[in-house]
Structure 1
């Protein structure tokens, strides 16, 4: 999944890449001056030097379009502990946080009017790109607990490819494969300068299996693993992926309008062809029921976002709200159901002290959504999920090399088991403890998830190195998963059980260099 599609269009809000690109269209290479040589080979020498210059610079074609190369390289060393096994993994950050480069260009059409393009390419990520040893395919999940590489996303990928026409007075129209309006506005309202280092999106969640707390198993590092990953309980109803928030955070084919800024406010609206990521039908695969109906038409999305930045005396404020309407919803038996996502994020920072607080909230619901429970046979409502995230921070220039940011994190992701809603999860349950456990054997006919909570907290530090356009960072992330199951016995009796899982810890040290 590619969540930071909006990073290119809103980079000024996180102050990381506004002036870090290199304009190659007007780039000139210099060579030491030579004494004038009026011999017969002067022109041949000049032509050779021009040919060499052209071979080492970006060609502009018609010489009217500027070309800019920008991006970043990010690398991290990751140490994790799942309650029984520890290991280390080295690689990039994930999805569109990973290393990337963008080629952008524009040309003047008329005074106040420009036209241009953007092509952004990303490198392989760190966690979600690894192999899925279960043999299935859930958002390209793989587990670093098994330490395997994968071919799912092992090559470079095109993140965006679109064109635009922009007016200084009337805004811009963009079309192609691009970032929708509701792709991460609430996430990028973070003014701490640590959005790449850590944010509310749980890119790591689909990559690690959970160990049931108090369960047996023995006999090896993997024997007590359940079939559940953290990502099973951080699903988006949109089907974008098990990432917790920013639930329409993926590039799509479509058209987007970006307004000019008025008094600190601006807005975006977009229409995209929503492919539903891995979905090919309405629910039959995800909720374990057959024959619920295919999509009547190509799924579509309409979304909008409102942004604000401003200075209030000694305080700097950044805020964003986005609304997403999808005419298709995951796990619903009704092909006419819709998915609606509301997200809001804001930062208030006291500039003299550098103390600030960022927070975001997301509500993700299927309007009157319903699905067939594979265990009980009853029709149930698709769960409505909520997620919220807080990041207190202090940003001060204690060192001449650049600013230092200290930050903390706390988040909750409630009832995001959408892909498991109503499914018979006995085959995934593993050695769960309690009366509704599949370990009870024939006495349990089936089991489904009733509700869930993923709790997360962490600490981090980031050091800017201004002279090298670089960040160095270290962070600790802790996650705890708590799930309520309902089991159906062979006699038809329902029994509820709460299952806790071993805590998961991730320690990450790395760096980013911008260009």
Structure 2
């Protein structure tokens, strides 16, 4: 929302002058101070005005609050957890400031503070959210903080902690209204849950995230492997006929290129995104002692098509990570990993409340073996995720309510493939309200 502006000085002067004249004239008994109501209103406006350091920079505040309640069953135990939607999708507040430099030129900044008090994406360890621990808290997190200079003709340069060029190039094409709620990543999919094997939670190092691991970011993301924020410099071209391109460089070292398209034709809404990145920083984003050298590249592509008249839609995403230059302890090179994801459904406004979205989705993650999985002598893996849900939008409150289901299953080969792997089933209901 845009902050309310303070009452103009001219209005205050006129109002106070009127009060002075009326007070001195005392032409009638108005039951007390004739300007009491006016002064009370001015005080109220001043109290609700967002203060800022300069009158030249416009300030807008936005964000959302989102929470889920999840019932899970790992084949040997079931429970119910309350949690957020994981990093980058968590409840947050966003501050945007912008000022005009000259015609066609603006400068601005963006800060995004997210709530990770109940982060379901917590890393492995004794504090992680898993079958043994119902909560993982990282507190408040300054996820993004950067400034930018924008030219309508030349594009935008951004510097600071930001989303790199190819971040979510495939995933963000999903405009069904379910992208935050359900997508190709494991940001809200409990990647640190231990895979129950032969009825036991042993070894504890074999988690679902170790079968959906991304070396570009040293994290069990599943999809969108090079998609976390970082300190970087980014350039975005102007949008021309629906097309745009981006490039970024950050940390030590991660560089990315991306292209995007969004438009409508022949009664369809269409979006497409493609991205390529290379990362050689062993410490990005979580240092892993067993990664001795990193030279990983990642390519992704995704698209979305919606028939506007019927509301039928289809979204797909694909990613491939090349780990040929990455070396782990013991001179082990992790295999290349790949994943693909598809979501289909219908988005239709059947009631005055807002659009209703019915969808089903499927994802497959092949040979995305993390360091802990490789240490168990697992040589190959295939993880499948099947799910779907219903989302009801409430236009009057800028709110979404949902219920969704997901079942994960996996097959592994190698010396570590001992015992039957149990499926993980989850049913989640939640809500998100925007402001």
So what's the TM-score if we normalise by structure 1?
0.74
Deviation at 1:61, TM superposition (A): 2.8
- Residues 210, 333 of structure 1: alpha-carbon distance in 2 compared, 3 angstrom cutoff: closer
Is the contact between residue 85 and residue 120 of structure 2 (CA under 8 Å) also seen in structure 1? no
Structure 2 counterpart of 1:473, from 402, 411, 424: 402
Is the contact between residue 304 and residue 324 of structure 1 (CA under 8 Å) also seen in structure 2? yes
Is the contact between residue 353 and residue 395 of structure 2 (CA under 8 Å) also seen in structure 1? yes
Query: Which whole-Å deviations, capped at 9, do the CAs of 1:13-59 have from their partners, x for residues lacking one?
Result: xxxxxxxxx111537699xx99x642268899977765553332111
Aligned to 2:47: 55
Q: What is the count of residue pairs matched by the alignment?
A: 414
Asked whether 1:507 is paired with 2:427, we answer yes
Aligned to 1:229: 207
Deviation at 1:87, TM superposition (A): 0.8
Question: 5 Å matches for 1:413-424?
Answer: 413-420=365-372, 422-423=374-375
Aligned to 2:346: 394
- Residues 99, 317 of structure 1: alpha-carbon distance in 2 compared, 3 angstrom cutoff: same
- Residues 170, 245 of structure 1: alpha-carbon distance in 2 compared, 3 angstrom cutoff: same
Question: 5 Å matches for 1:480-499?
Answer: 480-486=409-415, 497=417, 499=419
Aligned to 1:149: 135
Structure 2 counterpart of 1:106, from 78, 98, 105: 98
Aligned to 1:171: 155
SS in 2 for 1:80: strand
Is the contact between residue 202 and residue 243 of structure 1 (CA under 8 Å) also seen in structure 2? yes
SS in 1 for 2:224: coil
Deviation at 1:142, TM superposition (A): 2.8
SS in 2 for 1:156: strand
Deviation at 1:381, TM superposition (A): 3.5
Asked whether 1:314 is paired with 2:267, we answer yes
Asked whether 1:247 is paired with 2:228, we answer no
Provide the C-alpha distance between the structure 2 equivalents of 1:71 and 1:91, rounded to a whole number of angstroms: 18
- Residues 78, 230 of structure 1: alpha-carbon distance in 2 compared, 3 angstrom cutoff: same
Query: Which whole-Å deviations, capped at 9, do the CAs of 1:93-149 have from their partners, x for residues lacking one?
Result: 1112111110111011001111111011001254436696x54xxxx7331x12343
Provide the C-alpha distance between the structure 2 equivalents of 1:81 and 1:202, rounded to a whole number of angstroms: 17
Is the contact between residue 234 and residue 243 of structure 1 (CA under 8 Å) also seen in structure 2? yes
Question: 5 Å matches for 1:26-105?
Answer: 26=5, 37=19, 38-39=22-23, 50=42, 52-105=44-97
So what's the TM-score if we normalise by structure 2?
0.87
Is the contact between residue 128 and residue 135 of structure 2 (CA under 8 Å) also seen in structure 1? no
Query: Which whole-Å deviations, capped at 9, do the CAs of 1:425-465 have from their partners, x for residues lacking one?
Result: 3xxxxxxxxxxxxxxxxxxxxxx111111110001110111
Query: Which whole-Å deviations, capped at 9, do the CAs of 1:185-225 have from their partners, x for residues lacking one?
Result: 11101121111110010122323111114x4x6xxxx6x67
Provide the C-alpha distance between the structure 2 equivalents of 1:305 and 1:263, rounded to a whole number of angstroms: 17
Provide the C-alpha distance between the structure 2 equivalents of 1:397 and 1:387, rounded to a whole number of angstroms: 33
Aligned to 2:116: 124
Is the contact between residue 232 and residue 419 of structure 1 (CA under 8 Å) also seen in structure 2? yes
Gaps of 5+ in 2: 25-32, 283-287
Asked whether 1:355 is paired with 2:308, we answer no
Question: 5 Å matches for 1:134-145?
Answer: 134-135=125-126, 141-143=128-130, 145=131
